[in-house]
Amino acid sequence: MRILYHLPLSPYSRKVRLVLGEKRLPFELKIERVWENRPEYLDRNPAGTVPMLQEENGLCIPHSWVICEYLEEAYPDTPLLGRTLAERVEVRRLVAWFDEKFGGEVSRPLLNEKVMKRISRRGNPDGAALRAGYAHIRGHLPYIDWLAETRQWLAGNMLSMADFAAAAHLSCLDYIGDVDWARAPAAKDWYARIKSRPCFRALLQDRVTGINPPAHYADLDF
């Protein structure tokens, strides 16, 4: 069986889970406690990060974008990267924006401070990092709202990896109660649409010991 090494509140792992689910590729999840630096894991992924995908034939593929590109090439039946060159550029641009800009300025500080430090017992949240993360999400939410308002899906007319990258980050932040959906009604409608897809179900059932999501987290009509 194909194995995805992951952490439940890792946006990069969630993006791959959604892409695998949308492509209807069966997989088993294994939690990797990255802070333990397991030598057997580092041998296969020297970066020591999640996600990493291990195919049934033993092929190990680290890094969420490398995995997504691999899945698109290996399993093209449900295309998620766009059809034309221009569409593919826009999908890749938005995935990079969510994973690097939004991820670096919002998801990383908020999830590191509120989740990673807690589960790896690495101290208390840093107030300045949290404040910076909150300021950035307030700044970025209107852009996501604008994308959702002006396009059918975030990168255009077609559901794509851009939607899954965005939903992966926002679902982790929603789990910790840090998305003010009232400020972004079009983004909220888009998120409700993507949340109701079958590939999303397992994410809504994730629970992390000691950190409870708000009631609306798993509610499809939130």
| Site residues (vs ligand GSH, CB under 6 A) | 7, 10-12, 34, 48-51, 63-65, 99
Q: What is the DSSP letter of 198?
A: G
Minimum separation from the CB atom of position 33 to ligand GSH (A): 10
Report yes or no: 50 and 1 within 8 Å, Cβ to Cβ: no
Q: Residue 11 or 156: which CB sits closer to ligand GSH? A: 11
Amino acid letter for position 103: G
Cα–Cα distances (Å) from 121 to 8, 33, 117, 125, 192, in that order, read 17, 12, 6, 11, 34
- The SS3 of residue 53 is strand
Minimum separation from the CB atom of position 204 to ligand GSH (A): 18
Minimum separation from the CB atom of position 101 to ligand GSH (A): 13
Report yes or no: 162 and 94 within 8 Å, Cβ to Cβ: yes
Q: Residue 10 or 171: which CB sits closer to ligand GSH? A: 10
Minimum separation from the CB atom of position 159 to ligand GSH (A): 20
Q: Residue 59 or 220: which CB sits closer to ligand GSH? A: 59
Q: Residue 12 or 190: which CB sits closer to ligand GSH? A: 12
